[in-house]
Amino acid sequence: MSLPTLLIGGSSKSRKNEAINLAKGTSSWDCHILDAQVTSGIHDVRGLTSELNKKPVNSTFKIALILEAQNLTLEAQNALLKTLEEPPKNTEIILTAVTPEGLLSTISSRCLKINLAISGESKVPNKVEKFLSLDSYERWLAAADLDLESWLSFWRERLLENVFSKNIEKEKIAKISKYLKLIIKAKSLKKRNASSKILNSIILFETPQEP
């Protein structure tokens, strides 16, 4: 039995492409995909596991691709953990996520991690500027495109830059610290089936004006 593979880093597109390429190397036919940006609940994981328990149709192995697994609810991640602990026979499981920290430690520790080039991270500052230029309605429309993991990573970097700056601005540090707590709370609520779009919209509306 091979270890599950966890693809991290890069952009969501590069992670998806690499996962598909890995899957094609094992089986082009018996591949089951769960996109956690679309369906992220416990029933979705259980449905995937049910498919994996069936016999392969046209190959030796069955493949499970779980894209952007950091979006899975806490209950769904616990269900996934059980599958990783006792995987169906002749099954390969490939996950993608922004970082390992977006998953339960008991999941990420069971995976072979592949860190892709972080080509998408450099675009985050531009996204911040873009979102700041939007009005309230436009931010609501753009909320679906917000990746909380990348957003959190960006604002952590901004906090560190301000903390170690020669000209420390305590007010700015306090604002960013408060904002980081809001993002972390939103991540926690998202894993408990709270509306992703509403949470993302709140995050965008509360974005500090001077990153």
> Token pair for residue 19?
């996962």
pLDDT at 205 over 80: yes
Reported as a single tens digit per residue, the pLDDT across 173-185 is 889 889 999 998 8
pLDDT number for residue 120: 47
What the block records as the tokens of 13 is 């597109």
- Tell me the range of 48-62, 95-109, 157-171 where mean pLDDT is highest: 95-109
Q: Closest Cα partner for 16 from 72, 63, 68, 76?
A: 68
Q: Which residues contact 105 (CB under 8 A, 6 or more apart)?
A: none
pLDDT at position 86 over 60: yes
Sorted by where each starts, the structural domains of the chain and their CATH numbers stand as: 5-116 (3.40.50.300), 122-205 (no CATH)
- Could you say which DSSP state residue 112 is in? E
Contacts of 8 (CB under 8 A, 6+ apart): 15, 96, 97, 98, 99, 100, 113, 114, 115, 116
- Reading the block at residue 115, the tokens are 């860190």
pLDDT single digits (tens) 114-158: 888 654 445 566 667 777 777 878 878 878 777 787 788 788 878
- pLDDT tens profile 8-21: 988 888 899 999 98
* pTM, full prediction: 0.62
Higher pLDDT, 2 or 148: 148
